Amino acid sequence: MTDDPIRPRPTDHAFLGDLRGGSHEATYSGALSFMRRRFSRDIDGVDVVIWGVPFDAATSNRPGTRFGPQALRRASAIFDGDPQFPSGLDPFDALAVVDWGDCSFDYRHLDQVPGLIEAQAVDILAAGAHLITLGGDHSITLPLLRAHASLHGPLALVQFDAHQDTWEGDGGQSHGAFVTQAESEGLIDTARSIQIGIRTVAPDDFGIEIVDAYEAHGLGPSGIAARVRARTGGVPTYLSFDIDALDPAFAPGTGTPVAGGMTSIDALIALWSLRDLDWRGMDIVEVSPPYDHADITAIAGSTIVQHYLQILAEKAR
């Protein structure tokens, strides 16, 4: 077919589009890859890979985060094709980005899941791509840290969360113990790690700096950013954003909601203020669509990833 405006060329950017540049589909049509990126497992020459880990068998309260990657992709469709706020850039002018699809595993053999997450993440990182992961419950961060630490060494962890996730770790799968296990395996540099938005009590902090929810509210986004920057000190850093860091008013769709959290705007400004950090990877976890309303939580989560992509795009320029 021709480019006749009455009979436009058939396309779906998720399958036929270029690695760079935006799509031209209506936001409500086509396949829902993240921000309309091409679905591909050919990552030769790719700068950033976005993939999903639809796993929630390690949750301790309400399940449903297995549907998180779907919801985040759906909410992200509205972003594509326009300059992005606040950078004013189209990140795909600077970055070649693909949606890798989802992690492959057999739900009948849950004990194999962490190893499969790690192995697939290692393959992506070995190709030289920056990895952004859509969860899934917070247990998936442990194998992701294993994969990233195998390449970069121990990482500073910047964790936005209502929970410390330092409950007893015995090698099993729990979304409330990934930090415990990561510390014991030497995957994170606890002297350079920081948790923001905490408003529950856990057995240990392993020397990780905590900016609790009340303190975060008093500091504001610029104060939070200053604390994170001072703590990480310019070393390679991994971002893990648990959507329950936000107050349930801004993120009702999560498994373990806790009142008194951050607003969406404060979290986004804080992240945007940290463009100078040496980011090596990130995940967004605990988006649980069965408890969401009008995609409020998915919109917040996809916007966090959109901001992170803009940070990478600014660095690439």
Query: Which sign does the torsion angle of CA 163, 168, 169, 173 carry?
Result: negative
Contacts of 277 (CB under 8 A, 6+ apart): 158, 228, 229, 232, 234, 237
CB 168 within 8 A of CB 180: yes
In whole angstroms, what is the distance from residue 177 CA to residue 188 CA? 14
pLDDT band at 39 (very low <50, low <70, confident <90, very high): very high
Residues contributing to the annotated binding site = 138, 161, 163, 165, 242, 244
pLDDT band at 9 (very low <50, low <70, confident <90, very high): low
pLDDT computed for residue 1 by the predictor: 41
At 180-206, the pLDDT tens digits run 999 999 999 999 999 999 999 998 999
At 220-272, the pLDDT tens digits run 999 999 999 999 999 999 999 999 999 999 999 999 999 999 999 999 999 99
Mean pLDDT of 151-165: 97
Residues contributing to the annotated binding site for Mn(2+) = 138, 161, 163, 165, 242, 244
3-state secondary structure 170-222: CCCCCCCCHHHHHHHCCCECHHHCEEEEECCCCCCCCCCEEEEHHHHHHHHHH
pLDDT computed for residue 60 by the predictor: 73
Read off the pTM: 0.92
Neighbour-count burial for 121-158, b at 16+ CB within 10 Å, e otherwise: bbebbeeebbbbbbbbbbbbbbbbbbbbbeebebbbbb
In whole angstroms, what is the distance from residue 175 CA to residue 314 CA? 32
- Structural domains in the chain? 13-316 (3.40.800.10)
For the chain, the average pLDDT equals 91
At 48-95, the pLDDT tens digits run 999 999 988 767 788 889 999 999 999 999 887 778 999 999 999 999
pLDDT band at 32 (very low <50, low <70, confident <90, very high): confident
Which of helix, strand or coil describes residue 105?
coil
